Structure 1
Amino acid sequence: MSHFLAAVAAIVGAPHVLTQPQDTAPYTLDYRRRYQGLPLAVALPGTTAEVAALLQLCQLHQVAVVPQGGNTSTCGAATPDTSGRQLVIGLRRLNRLRAIDTANNSITVEAGMTLAQVQQLATAAGRLFPLSLASEGSCQIGGNLSTNAGGLAVLRYGTMRELTLGLEVVLPDGQVLHQLSALRKDTSGLDVKQLFIGAEGQLGLITAATLKLFPLPTAHATAWLGVDSSQAAIDLLSALRQAFGDRLTTFEIMSDACQHLLEKYHPGQLPFIQPWAVLAELSDSGDSHLLQQQLVDWLATQQIADGVLAHSEADRQQLWQLREAMSETQKRDGASIKHDIGVPSSAIPDFLQQCESALRRVFPTVRIIAFGHAGDGNLHYNISYTRPDNAHLFEDEDSVNAIVYDLVYRHQGTLAAEHGVGQLKGHWLQRYKDPLALQLMRNIKQVLDPHGLMNPGKWLSGGGD
């Protein structure tokens, strides 16, 4: 492979080809430390032309490619295998702003720009890019697109699929698809860019994107509310939507088990503990005090067990910090079997009740940590056992997953609402995805990547298997 690596260096420059273990190490281990790979090398191209040349070279030598952005995948979607024969292509050098058009509310950026950088550029221009994730300081736009990322504001603004106007993509054979259109309406045939959003790098390598911007909200009303059941939380969601329309930006829920964990590791910061906590936020133009008063007046007509309203930006950030601390807090408390599931919002109460009953019948010491984006039906449904049983937790992972996913699909849901499929869930996708949909996915993969060189071993096996 020395001739191949010399050719890679000729394309991107020798300093941008990493081969020593101490240099490649950050690219070989996934975010949750479940998958450890061994790449042939890591190449760091700086332009779309260099990416195209690399993919042409990989086709010529039949070398598999693993695209990697910020390496924040929780499913091993950006981790190479252990063969030592896969080239990781890292995109951090493709990080330029290409255009921003405030009159058209659009921005064009390269795929290696972090989400936080895009947010900052939008804010500096008096606009909002609404995608918001816990990893926004390190995750990259290419990865957000490849997993169709959602985050905290999907309820109002949608996922990356809804936020994307155009893409530039290098196909597996090195051809470049130039579709960086900023149009919102185009009925000229199939919208082929949609093939690459959510494809986890298996159909091509995204190098740039044109994204939607929105007016920057000047008013926020944020409340931490307590209700006595998950059904009450979903009823509150429906009522808020009816009362405030698309000013309802976010609606998060957390079970009492989540709240007790937060109290354990962040004592004194929770305003109260109720069977279910809701973090709801309205955003709009105008004055925050007026919007907050509208929310207070409306809440006075509802059945709320307890509640606090953020009266300042500092209060608002304090409430958000509690929600954003949930994942790290659970990690501090020990291992868990994590599920990034989605069901229709209306089905959340039935799913929670039925799934807990089914799990407890088989695993009596189960502890369920349920929280997430109830406004769009995306729950983080995480399973552990009470100690000392938790030491054997992962011996039961397949059995736990089968119970959870069976009920998810019984409620017309999905096993991957936000974090993708990757290596972690590929075999479950084969079990639950509609067979015809799977075959269509394989057919598209076969057309675009007949040799199966793009990110093999993830949601579809390479070569149309």
Structure 2
Amino acid sequence: MAMHGNQATAEQTVATGRNLFNQSATNAAAIAAFARDISPQLPAGALNTNPLDLIAKSHDASFYQLIPQLILRIDNLEQLQQVLTAAQRYQVGLTFRAAGTSLSGQTLTDQVLVQLGNGFCYSQIEQDGLLIRCGPMVRGGDANSLLKPYGRMIAPVPASLASATIGGICANNASGMNALDTYQVLHAIKLVLADGTVLDSADPISVAEFRQHKAELLADLSAVAATLRSDTELSSRIRRKYQLKNTTGYGLRALLDFDDPLQMLCHLLIGSEGTLGFIAEVTQRTIALDPCSASAFLLFQDLQQAGLAVQALSELGRQVVGACELLDDNALTAVRHQVGVPPIVAGLEAGVTALLVQTGAETPDSLARQIALIEQTIAPMKDPRSLAFSTDALVCQQYWNVRKGVFPAVGATRAAGTTALIEDVCYPVARLTEALAALRTLLNQHGYADAVIYGHALDGNMHFIFAQGFTTEADKHRYQQLIDAVVCHVVDGFDGSLKAEHGTGRNMAPFVRREWGDKAYAAMRRIKQLLDPNGIFNPGVLLNDDPLVHLKQLKPLPISNPLIDACIECGFCERVCPSRNLTMTPRQRIVANRHLATLDAEGKAKLSADLLQHHDYQAVQTCAACGLCATQCPVGINTGDLTRQSRSLAQPEGKVSQALAAHFATVTTIAGMGLTLGHATARIVGAGRLQRLTQRLHPYGSPVWLSTMPTSAGALAFADEQNDVDFIYLPSCVSRVMGPQTDNPDPRNLTEVVRALADKAGLRFSYPAALTSQCCGLPFQSKGQFHASAAKSAEVLEVLWQQSQQGQRPVLVDTSPCAHKLLEDAAKDPRYAQLQLLEPASFALQYLLPRLQVTPTAHSIALHQTCSSRRMQADGAQLQLAMLLSRNVVVPQDIHCCGFAGDKGFQLPELNAAALAPLQSQVSSCQGGYSTSRTCEIGLSAHSGLIYQSLLQLLDQQSSAEPLR
């Protein structure tokens, strides 16, 4: 088992940086001394020099790679201040990372990478939703979930909103289709300077102390502002450039927008990309959700006509046109075959360009007037095949699927070994038509004729995506020529922004002076000197004197495995991964796999072996293989497939798996006996003592006995005659083996609960033939035993097909993981297209609820929606059922998969514990917990203080056969 934390010495860190990765480590001796100094001041495990982790975190969503020499994890401001003090002492560079979704290389370093922990993940709604106060680790999507009941949302809407954190959104001043950014809505900020000084602008005491102790700094900022203001031409240029979206360099507008230097400082931190200070907390003003909205998918003959339409729509104002997204013909070609895209897209000829337009209003009447105004404005220009405005949510979602699918489509179809590179520029809207034509010509001239142009047209903010390789010098030279041409095109041709919303990073750092000019650049340099004189914060980012830094340390994307070659390393998968706070995320597993493939290809067997000693535990064993990553991945990669493949290669199928599959009834019998024996032992030595004993033995390979272990299920409930039933009931092998935990007041196994529900509903059921030997194959699949898995699945599907009379009778599969596995396998065989396989909640809503009288409980309940439920989109049905059964349903945030993963809760309990770390505090007010997976319920009970059981048990508890009198 690989170990994490302080066990690695500082000297080992330096050796890792110089030897393992075959590169010269920057500031290596100083980092070694820094590590020795800071280690005793931080909790155990805060320092990480695990070589595989250093590689895995050397990538972010950009196309650069810098390998850190040391990774630190901090959870509070006190730890941050200790780290800053040591970093100043040894002149060590610190780069902060939250989600790592930045596209321009902002969260990479070859010095010390500081990973923010859960201590920075907190939020507070204020003034009835008008304000939201967040720590930097709160994800944007989660903030919006909290605000939704108030009819509000945060202002920035970057495409990465679900994954990006508030800290990253603020540090990059990210925006989106509505042009609003954090700078415009900043209410208060808590920041930390390079010397450890904390300023909380919402706290009068903090403000007063800061003004006293940092009077010189504030005076210096005022002096810089005075210099800018005294230059009428320069100050006018700054104001004009911020009429466009602009994240190139530091936000000089702060020095003109505010007279108070403290407010200048607070706003300078926004968009500074972690180079001026640390953003510890932000309070921002929220914006209202439109009660009524409509979208249209408008077509135009060519890019020029679409540009003219954008210019006309921009004159209507934001209150009429809320969003206007442009997609050129290459973008439409890229997405035309994707699921959910309107059929009209597939038949469009070359040149046709689309505008996706959205409008929102307070009332239906106001909305209708705005739609009429928009249609009147673009009528002379639009193609008659345009798709009209719709208020239907499903239709609108279909329209927006086109926009959402552009980047994934390019990423998925690019040549293996290349990266999907996205640039981000902004033009004056009045010149958009001219700019788009010039941009297309430029791309064609440099060999990028297949590049896709799309973006937030209403702001003149356009993205262009192209596949780019960096394996040869010719590749790099072609890219260099393109970027040089783009800089001339944007800056000289249109006085636009080289970066509109993706941040300067390393990619545009060499061109900040070119866009802003010498005077403005000198002011930026002065700001950096005032706030970070020793260059501690994020060295190399945003301002960089190396004119070729954008062409260095480029990320290798080797062809390593067809299962993952399409990965664009965006990091969207990470937020749902149960092992993200224990070992690795899906992105990091892919990065590690690619690096190992590179070492093998280069014949560096020794370096590969050094990493492989950590790989099995970190990348393979602690992967839950739940597949939730695929639900977030723009190109649909399921990293669990890679994990199962690795397990299969490590332990090829043989006679053991064949024997287990062939004698499955014996396997389940032995498992039941094991539970009985375990509980007998627990009664003798005590359940707590048995758990502690097995935990001590766990490092030597012993499974852990949990105090929430179920009892043996005992006998199945009786079934009805085969020839006269309403549904087929397939109890999973887990339900046949595992009964309730010992302290559950309900002593029944799940088959007895289903029997009771069927009786109340007046329904009859039968079990599949040879039930004791039946299995969906999931236990075999998770271990990479694919043949055994397929054989068991095929066996049970055929039995269900026959007994359901070729799909005429529904089939209840009483646990979600088994239902999902069978649905996936059935979808591969057209014979089973009519087979009705239903997980518990869907079955209950469709067949039980219409026949039952339900009285919701007044108690709060916790609902765990399993990874399999989410993957087969049954989570909505589960929530619907839970809300019918309880007036207060709690679905804990940031828990997407419990990490129990079949038997990993016994074999790797640390995975389950890490995945469920946020659970107990969120369900403390609940009287019970419910789910649709028996194994998940074991871990959920262990880490919540509640008894978790099947959602069907709550339905039985809250229902009756006769209407209430």
| Shorter-chain TM-score tier | 0.7 to 0.9
1:28 maps to what in 2? Answer: 58
Q: 1:50 aligns with which of 76, 79, 103?
A: 79
1:324 counterpart = 2:404: yes
Q: Residue in 2 aligned with 1:418?
A: 501
Label 1:441 to 1:255 Cα distance change in 2 as closer, same or farther (>3 A).
same
Matched, 1:210 2:283: yes
The residue correspondences of 1:296-307 to structure 2 (distance < 5 A) are 296=372, 298-299=374-375, 302-303=379-380, 304-305=382-383, 306-307=385-386
Q: Measure, in 2, the Cα distance between the counterparts of 1:181 and 1:220.
A: 39
Q: Which structure features the higher share of strand residues?
A: 1
- TM-score normalised by structure 2 residue count: 0.44
Distance 1:13 1:365 in 2: 50
For 1:220-369, list aligned pairs within 5 A: 220-243=293-316, 245-266=318-339, 269-272=342-345, 273=348, 275-287=352-364, 291-292=367-368, 294-296=370-372, 298-299=374-375, 302-303=379-380, 304-305=382-383, 306-308=385-387, 309-334=389-414, 335=418, 337-360=421-444, 362-363=445-446, 366-369=449-452
For residues 108 and 124 of structure 1, what CA distance do their matches in structure 2 show? 16
Partner of 2:844: none
Structure 2 residue corresponding to 1:165, chosen from 184, 187, 206: 187
Q: Give yes or no for contact 2:320–2:370 (8 Å, CA) kept in 1.
A: no
| Matched letter for residue 354 of structure 1 | A
**1:407 has 2:486 as partner:** no
Query: Per the alignment, in what secondary structure is the counterpart of residue 480 of structure 2?
Result: helix
Contact 1:94 1:113 in 2 (8 A): no
Distance in 1 of aligned mates of 2:73 and 2:42: 7
After superposition, residues 52-201 of structure 1 pair within 5 angstroms as 52-81=81-110, 86-103=111-128, 105-154=130-179, 158-180=180-202, 188-189=260-261, 190-201=263-274
Amino acid at match of 1:323: R
Unaligned runs of 5+ in 1: none
- Cα RMSD over matched residues? 2.9
Paired amino acid for 1:177? L
User: For the structure 1 residues 165 and 234, does the alpha-carbon distance in structure 2 shift closer, same or farther, using more than 3 Å as the test?
Assistant: farther
The residue number in structure 2 matching 1:377 is 460
2:933 aligned residue: none
The residue type paired with residue 448 of structure 1 is L
Distance in structure 1 (CA, Å) of the matches to 2:320 and 2:354 = 20
Give the deviation of 1:445 after TM superposition: 0.8
Whether the 8 Å contact between 1:72 and 1:138 is mirrored in structure 2 is yes
> For residues 76 and 405 of structure 1, what CA distance do their matches in structure 2 show?
18
Kept in 1: contact 2:510–2:544 (CA 8 A): no
The amino acid of 1:356's aligned partner reads R
What amino acid does structure 2 have at the position aligned with 1:414?
S
Aligned to 1:395: 477
Give the alignment's TM-score, normalised by structure 1.
Answer: 0.87
> Per-residue deviation at 1:434?
1.2
Deviation at 1:31, TM superposition (A): 1.3
Seen in structure 2, the aligned counterparts of structure 1 residues 365 and 200 have a Cα distance that, compared at 3 Å, is closer
C-alpha distance 412-120 of structure 1, shift in aligned 2 (>3 A): same
Contact residue 167 and residue 181 of structure 1 kept, 8 A: no
User: What SS is found at the alignment partner of 1:252?
Assistant: strand
CA contact (8 A) 1:105 1:213 kept: yes
Equivalence for 2:538: 455
| 1:12 and 1:46 in contact (8 A); partners too | no
CA contact (8 A) 1:30 1:72 kept: yes
Alpha-carbon offset, residue 3 of structure 1 = 5.8
Cα distance in structure 2, aligned partners of 1:366 and 1:238: 25
Q: Aligned in 2, Cα 1:173/1:391: closer, same or farther, shift over 3 Å?
A: closer
Please give the secondary structure, in 2, of the residue aligned with 1:165: strand
* Bigger relative CO (Cα 8 Å, ≥ 6 apart): 1
Provide the C-alpha distance between the structure 2 equivalents of 1:413 and 1:241, rounded to a whole number of angstroms: 17
Shift of 1:94: 4.0
Selected match of 1:445 from 504, 528, 539:
528
More helix per residue: 1 or 2? Answer: 2
| Letter matched to residue 455 of structure 2 | G
Deviations 1:74-107 (A, max 9, x none): 11111012xxxx2211224244435322357111
| Aligned residue type for 2:371 | L
Structure 2 CA distance for partners of 1:245 and 1:457, relative to 1, 3 Å:
closer
AA aligned to 1:43 is L
How far 1:372 moved relative to its partner?
0.3
1:12–1:43: 8 Å Cα contact kept in structure 2? no
In 1, Cα distance between equivalents of 2:313 and 2:203: 35
Local SS of the residue matching 2:450: strand
State the Cα deviation string for residues 392-449 of structure 1 (Å, max 9, x = none). Answer: 6543011111222211112010111111121222223344331111111111111111
Go from structure 1 to structure 2 and tell me whether the alpha carbon gap of 1:53 and 1:276 turns closer, same or farther (over 3 Å shift): same
- Are the counterparts in 2 of residues 359 and 403 from structure 1 also a CA contact under 8 Å? no
Aligned partners of 2:106, 2:483: CA distance in 1, in Å?
Answer: 19
Rg larger for: 2
Distance of aligned partners of 1:217 and 1:58 in 2 relative to their CA distance in 1, 3 Å threshold? same
- Write the distance in 2 (CA, Å) between the matches of 1:63 and 1:323: 42
Instruction: Tell me the distance in 2 between the aligned counterparts of 1:37 and 1:363.
Output: 28
What whole-Å deviation, never above 9, does each CA across 1:215-272 have from its counterpart, x for those lacking one?
Answer: 2321111111112233433443344344464242211001011101111455863533
Q: What letter corresponds to residue 412 of structure 2 in structure 1?
A: R
Q: Which amino acid aligns with 1:451?
A: N
**SS at structure 2 position matched to 1:78:** coil
SS in 2 for 1:167: strand
Structure 1 residues 315 and 441, CA gap change in structure 2 (3 angstroms): same
Q: In structure 2, which of residues 32, 38, 43 is the aligned counterpart of residue 13 of structure 1?
A: 43
- Of stretches 40-49 and 339-348 in structure 1, the one that deviates more from structure 2 is 40-49
Once residues 467 and 57 of structure 2 are traced to their aligned partners in structure 1, the CA distance between those partners, rounded to angstroms, is 29
What is the aligned residue count? 447
Structure 2 gaps, min length 5: 1-9, 11-31, 205-256, 546-965
Q: 2:728 aligns to what?
A: none
- Is this contact kept in 2: 1:230–1:348, CA < 8 A? no
